[in-house]
Structure formats: C-alpha cells, structure tokens
Amino acid sequence: MASTIKTNNITGFSGGAGSAPITLSGDTATLSGTGITFPAGHVVKTQRYTTSEQTNITATSFNTSKTIGSFAFTPQFASSNILLLASVISDTDSSGAYVFMDFYKNASDVTETANLSGYTQGVSIIKEEAGWNSKFMMFLDECSENSTTEKTYKVSARLNASGSGYIGWGSNSPTIVVIQEIAT
C-alpha cells in the first residue's frame, strides 16, 4: 500500500528554520542554497527556443551581424558547460558552394564571436547541390569565463566562396535551438 507524505519544506538535522534547501509548492520542488551538488554530466537546466528569422549570407568569414535568433541563457553554476543544439535550414547558390554554420556568443565577460567553435568550417556544412536543407548542429561551450552571467547565443554562418546563401527559412520552417547547462 502506498503512503503519502505532505510537507512544505525539507530541512537536514543541522538546518534551522527558514533554511530548507528543498521547498515544495503544489507539485513543484525547488532546490536552493549553495549546498547542492550535481554529479558531473548532469543536465542542470534546459531551455528551448525557436526563431523564424532568415538572413542572407554573402561573406566568406564569420560575421557577428550575419546571425539568426537571439537566445539568452543564464547558467545557475559558474563551473557549468553549456551544450548547444540546433536544427537549421540553409541554402546557397553554386557560386557560394558551401554554407558553414557555427554558433555566436556574447556576454559581458567574453569577447563577442560568431565562430564559437573556432573551427574554420564551423560545426555544420551544406553543399549547394542539396538545395534547402535542414542540418543539425551541436557544440559544447566549455565556458572558460567561469561565471553565471547571462550569455546570448545565435546561429551564424559564412560561405565558402563569393556568392549568396541563407540561414533560416523564415516562416516556412523555424530554426529550433535547445540549450542545456551541464554540471562539471
């Protein structure tokens, strides 16, 4: 036979009044305080974003003004890594040959970059022959700044050669971005 325990707070033996690290409200449990330790690799927080933006790409280098979306994320712990996942539709003409996609990052304590991975070809590539194509992108931002400042992420792109390409398909199909805080 199952039992039901009803309470508002859970406090350890040495805790005092009003210092409960776990508080309950309805069916929601909230963890608070500095005594909480998550095991390495544990997902601390997940946020999902969408954007219907479309940007024309003509540059052959990553550019902070050629991005789509603007996804604000504030980690709970300074030591956490941030896992970036995205599904993006892109295309280029034969002159552009390839679209190289990456992530953009900016925060008060980092240098703004449209090539977060540092890889010359970014983290995802499409070839012009593919036409409009959906690609999956993933990158682990190891957050060397070690802070809980709000970070802004975006999807960025560049072409392989002079031409014209696009990231995002506008309202036809949104770009979906999932950002997860990972305990280290």
| Cβ neighbours, 10 Å, residue 4 | 4
For the chain, the distance separating the N- and C-terminal CA atoms, rounded to the nearest angstrom, is 40
pLDDT at residue number 75 = 96
Domain 38-182 has CATH 1.10.10.10: no
Which pLDDT score, from 0 to 100, does residue 158 have?
A: 97
Phi, psi of 174 (to 5 degrees): -70, 155
Task: Report the DSSP beta bridge partners of residue 87.
Answer: 136, 176
Please choose, from the candidates 75, 57, 81, the residue with its C-alpha nearest in 3D space to the C-alpha of residue 155: 57
Two tokens, residue 86: 């995205």
| pLDDT for res 72 | 98
Q: Could you report the per-residue pLDDT of 116-169, keeping only the tens digit for each?
A: 999 999 999 999 887 899 999 999 999 999 999 999 999 999 999 999 999 999
- H helix or E strand, kind and range, residue 178: strand 175-182
**pLDDT the model gives residue 11:** 67
Span 39-71, pLDDT tens digits: 899 999 999 999 999 999 999 999 999 999 999
Question: What does each C-alpha distance from 183 to 64, 118, 122 come to in angstroms?
Answer: 29, 23, 25
CA–CA separation, 109 vs 184, rounded Å? 20
| For range 7-17, the mean pLDDT | 66
Least confident of 22-36, 39-53, 103-117: 22-36
Average pLDDT, the chain: 90
Strands (E), 52-123: 55-57, 67-73, 81-92, 98-106
Whether the CB-CB separation of 69 and 154 falls below 8 Å is answered with yes
Residue 114 phi, psi dihedral angles, 5° rounding: -105, 5
List the domain boundaries for the chain: 1-36, 38-182
Q: Is the pLDDT of residue 32 over 70?
A: no
Taking alpha carbons only, the member of 145, 4, 151, 33 closest to residue 78 is 145
pTM of the model: 0.83
Dump the DSSP string for 9-29.
Answer: EE--TT--TT--SEEEETTEE
